[in-house]
Structure 1
Amino acid sequence: MSWQGWATMAVIVVAMGLFASEKLRIDLVALLVLAALVILGIVSPVEALSGFSNEATVTVAAMFALSLGIERSGVLEPLTRLLMRIRRPWLLTLALMLVIAPLGAFIKNIALVATFVPLALRVCQRTQTSPARVLMPMAYAAQMGGVCTLIGTSSNLLADSLAQEHGMAAFGVFEFTRMGVVLAVVGIVYLVLVGRWLLPRQLNAEMPEQEDIGKYVTELEVTGHSSLVGSSIADARLGERFGVYPLELLRGEKRMWSPRSQKIAAGDVLLVRGDWEKIEDFRHGAGLRNAPDSRYAQNADHLRVMVELMVAPASPMEGRRLEETGLRWRYGAVALAIHRRGQLLRDKLSDVSLAVGDVLLVLVSEDAMSSLRNDEAFIVLSEREEAHRTPHKAWYAVAIMSAVVVSSALHWLTIPIAAICGAAAMALAGCFGRKDVYEGIDWKIIILLGAILPLGLAIEHSGLSRTLVHMGFGVVGEHGPLAGLLMVYLLTALLTELMGHNPTVVLMVGIAVSVAHAMNVDPRPFVVAVAFAAATSFATPVGYPTNTMVYYAGGYRFTDFMKVGIPLILIFCALSMWLIPQFWPFHPPQ
């Protein structure tokens, strides 16, 4: 293997480590990969920029806009109202999966899960059932639905685009549907009959984490008439009296070195942790006030509601401090407290950098609730019904989405052109606001696709794919194309759990095609194996964004995904080894 091959391998290994560690954002990792390939001379500048004009990148951006139109127009509201009537958790789980799987074939998975998570949590609270019994199957169903069509997930579109670059015919919009439906039905049956016994069984139904939900950290200012003035934290015995636990005593910008023995004075700020109800009792009983709230009280709307917001996966707010989120100037909202899964925060609220899964307790104007619910940076976990939208917008959105699907399925228009026309039509019809589309597109995914696609060219140009194929044959031996297909599927599934589905597709499609050519069989079934294995990531909470979302909202442990997801992956793998050669033969008739 040439030095370019070794260099490409080194870049891939480093990228995999960075993707798996989540130390850097996925789009930044992709840009670093792109820069390394150009600097090393493995791809030319023109090839390096080709990913941003690739059909898959353009189509995914347009599909984000279409999905946003479906979500914002209120199409899903009748379904959510119907599901709210269900009282039994197992029936709710089944109903959610049966609703989400078909919708996932056409609507962005994250938007679907974000829409139905608050509903599922409300029903779980009402029936005193753990959300962990419901949310994971819901996330899995979204993935099962996404793989049923070519436009259901970005990895399918990416696999199709890369396959065409290798000289293969384009996949049809519904070419994956036959196999996808079989897998979805089997997967739902497994989750209802078997998976439910593997899920956590704790009965605490509070949100979002079972064992210490509501352990918020907040700032309380000591007023002049407070009963705490002149006493120390140790003397006040806050834990015994109120169930609230002090973390820090702040005086101005200074942290007191010995907070438990320091005498409390008017104007001091206590950083405390506890259930919000107990914090409120403590605030009233001790004569304190919410420090963030008092700072903006003069601008507050009298009609305000308390809202729990979770920082969504891929949120642009990740890494930002509260004052940088724009919650105050966009929604007139005041962040009162913050909760972080598995960590005890000891910083002032204004100094905390937000992370995915953080839950904010926010005081917000009632008039701003509609806009806040449409903000994809957050997931609203409050018990509050959404405002009804204009019905005719929903019909416009459904008609436009149907036209996109039909026109691309019948080959009247190519998928990118149909998606772009559909996005423009939704904008003209008012299915979303003029600025909403730019906020609704997940630009991290777009940058990731554009920057990571040239890696496939590097794998081919450097000879790395040939080397990897020869290594694979050392494992497969002379056991035929089915053994090669199994190797491709399992390797794709493993890499997806480590580094995500889109980078894995870029890495594996070229290898899959090379394996097929080396075995003198049609490469189409091998590309299908890559697409299906990458789009059904069940074993870890980081392999797919919907898994990450319910991981925080449901209070799961990492091993919960492994217990439920690994058997499901093995079932899908076995079914795929049987179905793929049936639908896409190794030696198709001429």
Structure 2
Amino acid sequence: MTQDQMLICAILTATMALFLWGRLRHDVVALAALMACVVAGLVPAAEAFAGFGHPAVITVACVLVLSRGLQTTGAVDWLARTVLPDKAGRLTSMAALLGLGAALSGVMNNVGAMALLMPVAVQLAGRLDLTPGQVLMPLAFGTILGGMTTLVGTPPNLIVSGFRAEAGLGHFAMFDFAPVGAAVAVAGVAFVTLIGWRLVPARKATGSEDFATGTYLTEVRVPEKSKAVGMTLRQFERAIEDSGAQVVGLVRNEVRMTAPHGGRPIHAADILVLEADVDALAEALSVFGIELEEQGPSSDDTTDAAPREAPTEQDSAPDTRTRPERDEDIVLRELAVLPGSTMVGRSAADLRLRTRYGLNLLAVSREGRPPRARLRALKLKSGDLLLMQGPAEVMADFIDDTRCVPLGARDLRIPDKRMALIAGAIMLGAIAIVTLGLLPAATAFALGVLASMVLRTVPPRDVYTAIDWPVIVLLGALIPVAGAMQATGAADLLARVLVDTVAQGNAIAALAVVLVVTMFLSDVMNNAATAAVVCPIAIGIAAALGVNPDSFLMAVAIGASCAFLTPIGHQNNTLILGPGGFGFGDYWRMGLPLEVLVVAVSVPLLLVVWPL
């Protein structure tokens, strides 16, 4: 083993260890791996960022934008309303939901498909007398399976196609993945529909009526002689910060203000709505001489007071959101944090929820349990379930801005039928161009993005927010690292080790090993990262055995799209953690037999469709 080979193997080992550790975001880990390769001289500095111009990276970004057009115009809502039955039984309803999810994932980003269908799944669970998790996990697995059917269904397919082109064999066509991928998807969806959902633990998801926060929402009146009179709300909150209490509302002159501005001064006779632990609340009241007005254990009690006319006095720091709010304007929403959301890694204080949006964060559930950290200081993670309170219109804007998924009931609607049809036509047109070989995938979908901007199915201001930038950075950073594996000969070395020690020189055994190893890595790493790492090794194994590399590349594509054992292998698995009330060890119960089924179906098909 040469020095360069030892260096790249050490970097890859450290990279996979950091992926497994999970404390750093995947894009940060990938960028660190790239910089390590540059410093070690394995990747020329002038070519360090060449991966960001790779066709696979461009195509992924464009597909994300076109998927946003399908979402915002209501095209998917219309399809869901048309396809999903209203009064069918469990078998028919589950089959329709999973079939729709798998079909959508073949032509759009599978995380987007999952996010759109999650509220439908939660409603369906209630109608079928199932826990939300018993529908959400099957839906997550169904959307993952559907992604393997087309070139653009999932990033690993695009990465595999890119490595094939770099090997001098040309890109895979749009539906080259379908013969094996579709068969595996159909078998997987059938298994989940008939048997798999019964294996899902019946966890009770945390809902707005039973968030275990350990706190009460309490109204307290400020008397004239209270020390709090004259203080701003921000000063008051800082004074009671050690108690963990927070001000979530203010009533003045019978006008209720939700999430009042921190610069608003406290007046005598004001009623403060506090969220606090009972013991801490008593301490805060005694220090400031504040009197209990009324107390109730339910967050719904915060909307009981009837609004009156707005106050006439002008405060020194007026709140920009102080118009009188009607009871029906104030809503409670359960929101699931999407992977890639702008909220990930930030706290309520960092996001300035109250001053920027006029919203209250009332509770957080993580893996079905309340976190131990203080609410305002808690760094949010993907899959967290949030209980938010605020005006309905503001809440809708917040959901759009932060890429959260509302889990409450919502009407399926078509905001603009004409625009929905245009968005669908653009996506189908781009797919047709690639299928007919008129343009490469990156160019065809970039043309689709341009059409979306011109026709405004995706407003130009939303184009960049539609792109999941952590995924783009991950891909752009790891592609040069994978290139270094090939350039140093490390990929060929690892391939020979697998062929000689594990597969014993048998091509079929080697194919199964590549599939199983890829599936395992995909369960503990990001699936796109797994494809980028394993593709050079798969090509090396095919060369060592003197067989068709397409068989092994397709095995990588299948394996990278089958992360069913853990919540970290795929974003859709992460997304259902909170809403499903799941823990880390709940996924393998349905995931393990599903992965065994995938191996049993895909290996024979690979030998027939892509013979060695």
> TM bucket by the smaller chain?
0.7 to 0.9
User: Structure 1 residues 400, 347: closer, same or farther in 2, change over 3 A?
Assistant: same
Q: Please tell me whether the aligned partners of residues 51 and 451 of structure 1 are also in contact (alpha carbons under 8 angstroms).
A: yes
Matched, 1:324 2:350: yes
Q: Please tell me whether the aligned partners of residues 219 and 348 of structure 1 are also in contact (alpha carbons under 8 angstroms).
A: no
Alignment of 1:3-82 (within 5 A): 3-82=3-82
User: Structure 1 residues 122, 8: closer, same or farther in 2, change over 3 A?
Assistant: same
Q: For residues 344 and 544 of structure 2, what CA distance do their matches in structure 1 show?
A: 45
Q: Please tell me whether the aligned partners of residues 65 and 449 of structure 2 are also in contact (alpha carbons under 8 angstroms).
A: yes
Q: Which moved more, 1:169-178 or 1:326-335?
A: 326-335
* Equivalent residue number for residue 383 of structure 2: 357
Matched, 1:150 2:142: no
RMSD: 3.0
Q: Please tell me whether the aligned partners of residues 222 and 268 of structure 1 are also in contact (alpha carbons under 8 angstroms).
A: no
User: Structure 1 residues 369, 52: closer, same or farther in 2, change over 3 A?
Assistant: same
Give the one of 209, 212, 215 matched to 1:215. 212
User: Structure 1 residues 86, 225: closer, same or farther in 2, change over 3 A?
Assistant: farther
User: Residue 567 of structure 2: SS of its match in structure 1?
Assistant: coil
Q: For residues 25 and 417 of structure 1, what CA distance do their matches in structure 2 show?
A: 30
Per-residue Cα deviation, 1:371-430 (whole angstroms, up to 9, x for no partner) = 445346211112232554010001101111111011111011111110000011011111
Unaligned runs of 5+ in 1: 230-248, 286-293
Q: Which moved more, 1:251-260 or 1:563-572?
A: 251-260
User: Structure 1 residues 264, 420: closer, same or farther in 2, change over 3 A?
Assistant: same
Structure 1 residue 317, shift from structure 2 partner:
1.1
Q: For residues 281 and 329 of structure 1, what CA distance do their matches in structure 2 show?
A: 22
* Equivalent residue number for residue 310 of structure 1: 336
Q: For residues 71 and 283 of structure 1, what CA distance do their matches in structure 2 show?
A: 32
Question: TM-score, length-normalised on structure 1?
Answer: 0.86
Matched, 1:460 2:486: yes
4+ residue runs of structure 1 moved beyond 6 angstroms? Answer: 282-285, 294-297
* Equivalent residue number for residue 264 of structure 1: 285
Per-residue Cα deviation, 1:487-546 (whole angstroms, up to 9, x for no partner) = 111111111111121111111111111110111111111111001110121111111111
Alignment of 1:81-92 (within 5 A): 81-82=81-82, 83=84, 85-86=86-87, 88-92=89-93
Identity value in percent: 30
Q: For residues 118 and 101 of structure 1, what CA distance do their matches in structure 2 show?
A: 16
Q: Please tell me whether the aligned partners of residues 100 and 138 of structure 1 are also in contact (alpha carbons under 8 angstroms).
A: yes
* Equivalent residue number for residue 188 of structure 1: 189
* Equivalent residue number for residue 611 of structure 2: 585
* Equivalent residue number for residue 584 of structure 2: 558
User: Structure 1 residues 547, 477: closer, same or farther in 2, change over 3 A?
Assistant: closer
Q: For residues 197 and 254 of structure 1, what CA distance do their matches in structure 2 show?
A: 46
* Equivalent residue number for residue 498 of structure 1: 524
Structure 1 residue 340, shift from structure 2 partner:
3.2
* Equivalent residue number for residue 422 of structure 1: 448
* Equivalent residue number for residue 243 of structure 1: none
User: Structure 1 residues 579, 386: closer, same or farther in 2, change over 3 A?
Assistant: closer
Q: For residues 547 and 165 of structure 2, what CA distance do their matches in structure 1 show?
A: 17
User: Structure 1 residues 379, 260: closer, same or farther in 2, change over 3 A?
Assistant: closer
* Equivalent residue number for residue 163 of structure 2: 162
User: Structure 1 residues 487, 333: closer, same or farther in 2, change over 3 A?
Assistant: same
Structure 1 residue 125, shift from structure 2 partner:
2.8
Give the one of 294, 298, 303 matched to 1:278. 298
User: Structure 1 residues 347, 514: closer, same or farther in 2, change over 3 A?
Assistant: closer
Question: TM-score, length-normalised on structure 2?
Answer: 0.83
* Equivalent residue number for residue 117 of structure 1: 118
Q: For residues 66 and 539 of structure 2, what CA distance do their matches in structure 1 show?
A: 32
Q: Please tell me whether the aligned partners of residues 312 and 549 of structure 1 are also in contact (alpha carbons under 8 angstroms).
A: yes
Structure 1 residue 361, shift from structure 2 partner:
2.2
Q: Which moved more, 1:216-225 or 1:422-431?
A: 216-225
* Equivalent residue number for residue 172 of structure 1: 173
Q: Please tell me whether the aligned partners of residues 383 and 576 of structure 2 are also in contact (alpha carbons under 8 angstroms).
A: no
Give the one of 322, 329, 335 matched to 1:298. 322
* Equivalent residue number for residue 450 of structure 1: 476
Per-residue Cα deviation, 1:553-581 (whole angstroms, up to 9, x for no partner) = 21123232111111111111122210112
* Equivalent residue number for residue 431 of structure 2: 405
Unaligned runs of 5+ in 2: 227-235, 245-278, 306-317
Q: For residues 514 and 58 of structure 1, what CA distance do their matches in structure 2 show?
A: 26
Amino acid at match of 2:383: G
Amino acid at match of 1:36: A
Q: Which moved more, 1:373-382 or 1:410-419?
A: 373-382
Structure 1 residue 217, shift from structure 2 partner:
6.0
